[in-house]
Amino acid sequence: MSSKRRILAALVALAALGYGSTAAADNASPSGTAAAKDEKARFAEAVRLYKAGSFARALPAFEALATATGSPNAELYVGYCLNGLERHAGAYAAFERAARDAGSEERYAETRAAALREMAELGLRLGTLVVAPVETPDGLVVTVDGAVLEPAAFGSHRVLEPGDHHVEARATGRNPVVRDVHVDGGETKTVTLYFPQRDTAAPTAAPAASGDRPGAALRIGGFVAAGVGGVGLVTFAIGGLEAKSAHDRLARECSLPCGDSAHEREVERGKSWQTVANVGLLVGGVGALASATLLYFGYRGGAETSVALSTWPGGALLSGRGRF
């Protein structure tokens, strides 16, 4: 902020602080008038310290004035002092409060504009962290870098200095959840906190799940076999159509069987597609049979069930064994 802008802001702030007391001077008590003059004098002294570069001395004076008067101008200068001390995250929070407290009042228009301008500049240098607990169990306490995060701030943007930050959540009867996150300047990161549920019924449910495992595996195998069988049948259909197409073409162009060299390539093509169709039919049939068998054993269930598929160049054998 330039020196001219700061001087202007200081003059506006002084006028704003004295606005209420001067407007009601006729009805104010002598003690009230003296208090208003004292606040103006304290504000003027704090501004003098700020302009002299004594940010550490000016800061507590502005903080006390902001608390006592609720003035957005005092809060604005809290932000200026914190910024001068390179406490940028705190400065951003102060500017945010100043803009919020200024509201839409015309007399605070310059204050509001200055606060928003400073927030925009700091926003490029600071990181933003959003802490979002998935649930809020009893006794939930969330801390960010050791500072307790109020429940009202869950899911809201929290401006932080760039760097590494430590997020921890604790709740009654739950294991702590810890997250370490690095945030760069101008970056926004979200930390989702989830407490794993305790599965107290797991020991009882485990034997049942274990007993169902063979049946589940067989059912999965049955669906896979059905897919393989479907692919085989599609291959059979395509091969058969192509073989028939070659046969019909040869029948139109020569007397079957065609033995001349001009149609030799077409004859070989037809034979190849016939082989593809035969293999597809074999795979489709075996896949369908395997699928039906696996699904039967899988849904019927069995303590000892096994299915084996054996193939060789001339055929295939599906065998099964089970005890119920």
Q: What is the CATH number of the domain that holds 142?
A: 2.60.40.1120
14 within some domain: yes
The tokens for 5 are 């802008």
Residues 224 and 285 reside in one and the same domain: yes
Q: In the prediction, which pLDDT does 27 show?
A: 46
pLDDT bin (cut points 50, 70, 90) of residue 157 is confident
Q: Is the pLDDT of residue 2 over 50?
A: no
Is residue 290 within 8 A of residue 229, CB to CB? The reply is: yes
On whether both 108 and 10 belong to a single domain, the answer is yes
Domain assignment of residue 253, yes or no: yes
Same domain, 189 and 150: yes
**Res 206: pLDDT:** 44
Question: Do residue 118 and residue 133 come from a single domain?
Answer: no
Last residue of a domain, one of 140, 160, 193: 193
Residues 186/125, Cβ–Cβ less than 8 Å: yes
User: Among 159, 193, 227, which residue terminates a domain?
Assistant: 193
Residue 303 lies in a domain: yes
Q: Would the pLDDT of 288 be above 70? A: yes
Angle at which helices 202-253 and 264-300 cross, to 10°: 160
Same domain, 18 and 88: yes
Pair 157, 89 in one domain: no
Cα–Cα distance between 4 and 222 in angstroms, integer? Answer: 82
pTM score above 0.85:
no
Which pLDDT belongs to residue 201?
45
What is the residue-averaged pLDDT of the chain? 75
Same domain (yes/no): 7, 30: yes
Shared domain check, 149 and 38: no
Burial of residue 3, with CB atoms counted within 10 A of its CB: 0-12 exposed, 13-18 middle, 19 or more buried: exposed
> Quick check: 246 pLDDT over 70?
yes
Least confident of 143-152, 186-195, 278-287: 278-287
- What the block records as the tokens of 230 is 């479907």
Please report the pLDDT score of residue 75 as a whole number.
96
Q: Range of 102's domain? A: 3-123
